[in-house]
Amino acid sequence: MTFSEMLGDAGEIRDCYAVVQQWVEETGIEGLHRRLGEAEAIFRRIGITFAVYGEGGDPERLIPFDLLPRIFTALEWQRLEAGIRQRAAALNAFLLDIYHRGEIIRAGIVPADIVYQNKAYKPEMANFTPPGRVYSHIVGIDIVRTGLNDFMVLEDNCRTPSGVSYMLENREIMTRMFPELFVRERVAPVDNYPSQLLQSLQEVAPPACKDKPEVVVLTPGSFNSAYYEHSYLADLMGVELVEPADLFVDEGLVFMKTTSGPRRVDVIYRRIDDDFLDPLAFRPDSLLGVPGLFHAYRAGGVTLCSAPGSGIADDKAVYVYVPEMIRFYLGESAILQNVPTWQCGRPDDYAYVMDHLPELVVKEVHGSGGYGMLIGPKASTGEIEKYAGRIRANPAEFIAQPTLDLSTSPTLGASGLVQRHVDFRPYCLVGKEIRLVPGGLTRVALAEGSLVVNSSQGGGVKDTWVLR
């Protein structure tokens, strides 16, 4: 049975949602819809958009926003926080290990081919240690809930996890429009995320930096689907937003062009994929890269956040081994468990998956954004057969998971409250220490019965409250 985060076993309102229920009753459904219209007008004025690829016409649109918050109690957050911090530490330890001695592979825990033959692994990073021994500086961990005390990790995001601007803007909208709610309820703040992000980035300044680190956000440009987020975070941190053409390398150091002349850059929060960072090191046809950037990085002249090659840690084939990583590097049991996962590259797993495709969710190991998935229970016979052909052609490129009965959260419907499935992405910052604001991005599947929460696939967002 689907777990409702708002309701107890007997259908009663859980204590943590009592204030929200009272507010709904006082405001009324019509009143809530009026306020939702006001909220959407603010989002439109601010310009928070995203792209839906594969559709014709203008791909830029507002992300659907739901007024009703998703709520965690202080005790629930305590467990989540411990599990998130543990996972971020283990993933960074794994990256340090595989780019050096590869002890976890020598121990027979993680197969060598999954790492060294993976396109997310960057041999150019071998035997190089980033400043602070940190590879993934912003770890976004996607978490699903299936019961009162049942939280599981769906996937890890160790490269450039997006969506944090929605976390911040959702809270800004809610506090601006409904201040009375925050008077009635003690909700932990999230607005210190930008300052914590800046601090974490400054803490990993390179050896060449002798003064206050100069931090920049590197964007591929205004045509990128997440450009709003890039500019938004740069503005909140008080740092420059730069494009590749704004940077150049000279004698192992990186500079940005300014009206007053070149200015040294120490730390680059980059939102450009590995392969396009530097045409001299990776793809020679990259028009986004900064020639010599990777050499400057390895020479200690600049820090790239996150490090090139960090994506191997969030590869879906590697995900299976994260609980073992936690035991191997930290000597602890995983606080947050993985979703049961079958790797189609393993003969036994492959046979099981092919026999049970109508029951499973199948994903590409390098996929993201909800693209390239098969949701077996929602797929037609023809779609299943077509996808089976893709798996047969290259089994190692796919993993499968059971169709989880995700928890539901109250959501504003046309004529009343409806229950819709949700997931959760907190953002864990890694510098000299691990930092985590009490909150994150809750994504909601707005279509009735849908389990797909990605904004690119029709999902929406809502504010996430952690009660104090």
pLDDT tens track for 286-329? 989 999 999 999 999 999 999 999 999 999 999 999 999 999 99
Taking the C-alpha atoms of residue 312 and residue 366, their distance in angstroms, rounded to an integer, is 10
Taking the C-alpha atoms of residue 90 and residue 136, their distance in angstroms, rounded to an integer, is 11
- Report the percent of the chain where pLDDT is more than 70: 95
Handedness of CA 167, 169, 172, 177 (dihedral sign): negative
**Arithmetic mean of pLDDT over the chain:** 93
418, amino acid identity: V
**Are 338 and 153 spatial neighbours (Cβ–Cβ below 8 Å)?**
yes
pLDDT at 55 over 50: no
pTM score of the predicted model: 0.93
Task: Give the per-residue pLDDT at 456.
Answer: 64
Task: Give the per-residue pLDDT at 57.
Answer: 41
| Residue 87 confidence class, pLDDT cut points 50, 70, 90 | very high
pLDDT at 114 over 80: yes
Angle between helices 381-393 and 347-355 (to 10 degrees): 170
Residue 385 burial by Cβ neighbours in a 10 Å radius (0-12, 13-18, 19+): exposed
**Are 39 and 67 spatial neighbours (Cβ–Cβ below 8 Å)?**
yes
Task: Give the per-residue pLDDT at 50.
Answer: 55
Give strand ranges (E) for 87-214: 138-147, 150-157
Angle between helices 227-237 and 164-177 (to 10 degrees): 70
3-state secondary structure of 60: strand
Taking the C-alpha atoms of residue 451 and residue 421, their distance in angstroms, rounded to an integer, is 6
Between the alpha carbon of residue 357 and those of residues 152, 183, 373, 389, the distances in Å are 22, 49, 12, 12
DSSP secondary structure string, 419-430?
EEEEEEE-EEEE
| Residue 149 confidence class, pLDDT cut points 50, 70, 90 | very high
Task: Give the per-residue pLDDT at 293.
Answer: 98
Task: Give the per-residue pLDDT at 44.
Answer: 81
Taking the C-alpha atoms of residue 188 and residue 314, their distance in angstroms, rounded to an integer, is 29
**Are 460 and 230 spatial neighbours (Cβ–Cβ below 8 Å)?**
no
Q: The tokens of 251 are what?
A: 């004698």
pLDDT tens track for 363-416? 998 766 566 789 898 899 999 999 999 999 999 899 999 988 899 999 999 999
| Residue 51 confidence class, pLDDT cut points 50, 70, 90 | low
Task: Give the per-residue pLDDT at 354.
Answer: 96
Which of 367, 350, 278 is closest to 314 using CA atoms? 367
| Residue 252 confidence class, pLDDT cut points 50, 70, 90 | very high
DSSP state of 3: P
| Residue 58 confidence class, pLDDT cut points 50, 70, 90 | very low
pLDDT at 54 over 60: no
pLDDT tens track for 416-440? 999 999 999 999 999 999 999 999 9
**Are 93 and 324 spatial neighbours (Cβ–Cβ below 8 Å)?**
no
pLDDT tens track for 10-44? 899 999 999 999 999 999 999 999 999 998 888 88
CB atoms within 10 A of CB 53: 9
Taking the C-alpha atoms of residue 156 and residue 128, their distance in angstroms, rounded to an integer, is 23
Q: What is the mean pLDDT of the segment spanning 334-347?
A: 94
All structural domains of the chain, each given as residue ranges with its CATH number in brackets, are: 15-191+309-335+410-466 (no CATH), 207-301 (3.40.50.11290), 340-402 (3.30.1490.270)
- Report the percent of the chain where pLDDT is more than 90: 83
pLDDT at 355 over 80: yes
Helices (H) and strands (E) in the chain, counts: 14, 23
| Residue 1 confidence class, pLDDT cut points 50, 70, 90 | confident
Task: Give the per-residue pLDDT at 223.
Answer: 87
Q: What is the mean pLDDT of the segment spanning 198-216?
A: 96
Task: Give the per-residue pLDDT at 448.
Answer: 86
